[in-house]
Structure 1
Amino acid sequence: MTDSKGLSLQWKMLIGFAVGLTLGLIVHFTQADAPWVDTVTTYVTGPIGQIFLRLLFMLVIPLLFSALVVGVAEMGDVAALKRIGVKTLVYTVAISSIAVVIALTAVNIFRPGDGVDPALAQSLLSEAREGAGAILTNTREMPSGVQAFLNIIPSNVVTAASQNDILAVMFFALIFGIGLLLVNTPSAQRLQEAVEGIFHVTMKLIGIVIRMAPIAIACFMFNLAAVFGWELLVRLGAYVGVVLLALAIHMFVVYSVALKTLGGMSPLYFFRQSQEAMVVAFSTASSNATLPTALRVAEERLRLPPKVSRFVLTIGATANQNGTAIFEGVTVLFLAQFFGVDLTLTQQFMVLLVCILGGIGTAGVPAGSLPVVALILGMVGVPPEGIGLVLGVDRFLDMCRTTLNVTGDLTAAVVISRGEDEGPPAPQRTPEGEGVAEAHPS
């Protein structure tokens, strides 16, 4: 996304991050106790950040509902592919669950958010809750045990939406999408198109809201840096390291095991043939923008059957976002640790479920996971404006997690292809050692 002068939104966000951080650090070391600082944070930078968050919260429920419904329903839009759709759904949920477990394990072991002065963190947390107002009305004490499980199933989806009960809304969207998948009538098709229209409109509006992100980031970072000083940079570096570690484990361990055991393909062969799609994913930070390249790689390099690869990769661009699920899980727990919010096992389990469904329902565009992260933060009692901490480094992390997302889509295509009429063929070695697919590699 660029303006008429060619300056991308990501560069603007980075500039906003740098400006806010620099000014905040200057204030922290020179004017921390000055009365004007409190005035600026209370009446200028704070409200600007809240406006940005409220606009995101306003749109996140229709976005997640429509994206999840369409993502699931499209798995059965062709009767011959319903079996493939069910296999894709089961595989996607299973592999996303592994991704989130890796993320939560890594962030609990390394705890990148620890080490911040508890008094300062609690002070900022109190101020954030006062300023957030209605955004944090859903941060009530979460139920545990059987009640926590029952609360996932809403008795009234409208009430759940009004209370920002994201897990209940997403459960309803999942069931609704499965219903559309099973009903093949003209009326159901028109309803699916209407829901898809909601998705397109919401995405357009979020794209407009995201344009004010550079200003909001500058405000967030000014407030945070003015309070925490250099501690902010130390914790941020640790956070980036944990995200990259979790992404690497999932790509090179989990995907390799899935390729070898479920797909019957050599991981080395797969990664070598998929390099082009991975590079495009890293440079664009968009699963949707990488889709044409991924389709060509699947058919020409991996030699997967087109009827499977086109279906799985098209759905996967929105519904198989393992990197996004990892990012969301690490970010939520990191910010909880940073602000001194001790999440119970039940709350962490809720975060896991939301991240799994969020990985299915998050749009495959740059910054598509931002609204989901903000809503999860509010759900577990962490100030949503904490996302300002990570937005400055989000572009780089977005590029990394998109690479994992696209690689995961190609991995899914290999796994789903196995056992179909045409299986993924194996490489026939050329004199130069380049693999040309002819039969299943092992």
Structure 2
Amino acid sequence: MTETKRGGIALHWLMLLGFAVGLGGGLWVNLTLGAETAWVIWVTDNVTGPAGQIFLRLLFMMVVPLLFSALVIGVAEMGDLNSLGRAGIKTLLLTILVSGIAVVIGLVMVNLLQPGRGVDPAMAQQLLEQGRDGAAGIVEKAPESIQLGDFFLDLVPSNAVTAAAENQILPLMVFALFFGIGLVMAKSPATDRLQEVIEGLFEVTMKLINLFIKLAPFAIACLMFNLAALFGWDLLVRLAAFVGVAVGAMAIHMFVVYPLVIWILGGRSPITFFRAVREPMVVAFSTASSNASLPVSLKAAEQQLKLPKKIARFVLTVGATANQNGTALFEGVTVLFLAQFFNIELSLTQQVIVMLVCILGGIGTAGVPAGSLPVVAMILVMVKVPPEGIGLILGVDRFLDMCRTTLNVTGDLVLATVVSRGEKDDPVEPVDPMEPEDLPGAARRGLKHGTAG
């Protein structure tokens, strides 16, 4: 997330302030008055509750155009597959593989450490009922159970419009994937104009999300007040456990998976690799923006890692919008944490579905400011977890955003290194990697809109 400011104060500081005010007020109410006091019930039912739900509904409103346009454009940007051949195929397969490993690590960590357990079941059930009311009936539309055979059958929608209207996220993603592939295969002036229209939809969606996210400080204060008033100190303990598990899973992926991939598939020394990519890692952590880090990553790839320019530029620019290991891992950890928090048992099949959606979500929401929030909310709806539980993690999301963006950017460089193995550069005219106009469309849009990691 970029340093958007309101009244001279960066938005993430206002979000942190809203988190502190809501948490402090809710804890005071919980410890001194109790959650059953008449005026507290009135305020939570008529003021803070509806205010938080409005923010969440604004996010829900953008889910369909966001996922469709972002995923279609993300696939269509891989139109360079025709010219890069093996590099494009390897990029796509490695993106799916490494993102899948990231999500699996997150899910295993949450299942082993159980960071969301320990909340009073009665209180969790009370908030669960509030969540069902606040989700405007969407939760009730989720299936009671999911069979593996039906799951694969339902992946292909018989009517894409119906799938979108009924918030069926996976069939919608499959339709968007095929639509993007069709744009790549059917290149013509007409399809180029269609792609520009979808890019316009993508940019309008990003602009609206940027507008809505400005309400986040107020929404966070309201959501945290409700949650803290109900759960008290249990909330802080669970939140700290969530942050610890999320950061731990990211650390395992960064310092175990990436070195193994570099060593085995890339044929390079992990120590030499990490020494060469220190600068983009620092920029990614400090800015929490994958696309803002892209020029620095291009420079490191070409000058420090000595990768072929044609491969580095293709893989890094595509990766900045499609290879989001940290985002996929974060989404999986968040969904399972909130399911545990609300005492909702997810079957193995449901967790596999969560994993698949997170992998696709890493492609479909990459480079969109706060784009992971609608995806997390929709996954929560799919598994019948109250989506306003997102309010639990918004206050600590800035730090986690910095961590997962660093993982994303490093993963792009890992991908570029592996794909470059055995490839040689063609003679090309010198291009300054720091100039945005020299980058493909996805990267230019990211720099223009200041998108998040």
TM-score by length of 1: 0.93
Does 2:88 correspond to 1:88?
no
Q: Corresponding residue for 1:436?
A: none
103 and 4 in structure 1: CA distance in 2 versus 1, 3 angstrom threshold: closer
Identity of aligned residues (%): 65
Give, in whole Å, the separation in 2 of the partners of 1:73 and 1:289: 22
Aligned residues: 423
Does 2:185 correspond to 1:182?
yes
* Contact kept? 1:285, 1:365, Cα under 8 Å: no
Alignment of 1:141-152 (within 5 A): 141-152=144-155
Q: SS where residue 396 of structure 2 aligns?
A: helix
Q: SS where residue 231 of structure 1 aligns?
A: helix
Give the AA of the match of 2:284: A
CA shift digits 1:163-216 (9 cap, x unpaired): 111111111111221222222222222222221111111001000010001111
Give, in whole Å, the separation in 2 of the partners of 1:360 and 1:338: 27
Q: Corresponding residue for 2:290?
A: 287
Does 2:206 correspond to 1:229?
no
CA shift digits 1:13-42 (9 cap, x unpaired): 100000000000000011222101111111
CA shift digits 1:306-334 (9 cap, x unpaired): 11111111111110000000000000000
Give, in whole Å, the separation in 1 of the partners of 2:187 and 2:348: 41
What residue ranges of structure 1 are gaps of 5+ in the alignment?
A: 424-442
Does 2:70 correspond to 1:64?
no
Q: SS where residue 136 of structure 2 aligns?
A: helix
Q: SS where residue 263 of structure 1 aligns?
A: coil
Q: Corresponding residue for 2:446?
A: none
Q: Corresponding residue for 2:347?
A: 344
CA RMSD of aligned residues (A): 1.4
Give the AA of the match of 1:409: D
Q: SS where residue 9 of structure 2 aligns?
A: coil
Q: Corresponding residue for 1:299?
A: 302
Q: Once the 2 structures are TM-superposed, how far is the Cα of residue 6 of structure 1 from its aligned partner?
A: 2.6
What residue ranges of structure 2 are gaps of 5+ in the alignment?
A: 427-453
Q: Once the 2 structures are TM-superposed, how far is the Cα of residue 4 of structure 1 from its aligned partner?
A: 5.8
Q: SS where residue 5 of structure 2 aligns?
A: coil
Give, in whole Å, the separation in 1 of the partners of 2:254 and 2:321: 18
Does 2:406 correspond to 1:406?
no
* Contact kept? 2:157, 2:172, Cα under 8 Å: yes
Give, in whole Å, the separation in 2 of the partners of 1:304 and 1:329: 32
Give, in whole Å, the separation in 2 of the partners of 1:376 and 1:71: 20
Give, in whole Å, the separation in 1 of the partners of 2:109 and 2:152: 25
Give, in whole Å, the separation in 1 of the partners of 2:195 and 2:96: 22
183 and 421 in structure 1: CA distance in 2 versus 1, 3 angstrom threshold: farther
* Contact kept? 2:209, 2:369, Cα under 8 Å: no
Alignment of 1:41-60 (within 5 A): 41-60=44-63
Does 2:204 correspond to 1:217?
no
Q: Once the 2 structures are TM-superposed, how far is the Cα of residue 365 of structure 1 from its aligned partner?
A: 4.8
Give, in whole Å, the separation in 2 of the partners of 1:48 and 1:137: 22
Q: Corresponding residue for 1:438?
A: none
Does 2:42 correspond to 1:34?
no
TM-score by length of 2: 0.91
Q: Once the 2 structures are TM-superposed, how far is the Cα of residue 77 of structure 1 from its aligned partner?
A: 4.0
Q: Corresponding residue for 2:433?
A: none
